[in-house]
Amino acid sequence: MSTNNTVQDKPEPDVLNEIHPLIRRRWSPRGFSDKPITEDIAMSLFEAARWAPSSYNEQPWRFIYAMKNDEEAFQKLCSCLVPGNVEWAKNAPMLVLAVAKKTYSHNGKHYRHSMHDLGLALGNFTVEATSRDLYLRQMGGFVVDKSREVFEIPNDYEPATMVAVGYLGSVESLTDNFVKTEYKQQVRKPIEELVFNGFFQR
């Protein structure tokens, strides 16, 4: 990798309607700084997640995290990632495994909304992170069964996603293919394809 540019040079998204600057700034880099995340800041991110809404106030989210300076714990999380994600995620200062409880505590029934509610918690986590100049890249590319084994996760909990967290850094450690995606402008489908007033359209 030959460039010394930082991913802070990424073009801003072309939003069509006014939105909060924290939402506009959010994106998912692979190039992270080696600047560590303090434990206090990490706990503030999880505190934001803790205050997300959930069905019956079940709060189904569980988070397993490790800082890069805790080599043993960090490696356990890295070991669950697919190789293509290990390539860059190993440089993030913090990794998180997000897990959702699949049953309600009050009646033991299937919790159909648990992944949705975990997503709300991660949304809070993301906004809080962005407010502190931290960025996330969430990954479906990890081995679920291995994460269950490594962390002894019970069957009524579902490992949902892995998250790399850090400050923006250089792209020097990334392969050329990844560098190209770092500099692409974010795009979204037109709102007319996603939002319908009083009807559903395929």
Tens-digit pLDDT profile for residues 151-188: 999 999 999 999 999 999 888 878 777 887 777 888 89
What pLDDT, on a 0 to 100 scale, did the predictor assign at position 180? 77
Q: For residues 25 and 135, what is the distance between their CA atoms, to the nearest angstrom?
A: 9
141 burial class (0-12, 13-18, 19+ CB within 10 angstroms)?
middle
Q: For residues 124 and 45, what is the distance between their CA atoms, to the nearest angstrom?
A: 8
Residue 199, in any domain of the structure: no
Output 31 or 175, whichever has higher pLDDT: 31
Question: Average pLDDT in the 58-79 region?
Answer: 98
Residue 124, in any domain of the structure: yes
Question: Average pLDDT in the 37-50 region?
Answer: 99
Q: Indicate which CATH number applies to the domain containing 176.
A: 3.40.109.10
Element (H, E) at 95: strand 94-101
Enter the tokens of residue 136. 């996330």
Residue 181, in any domain of the structure: yes
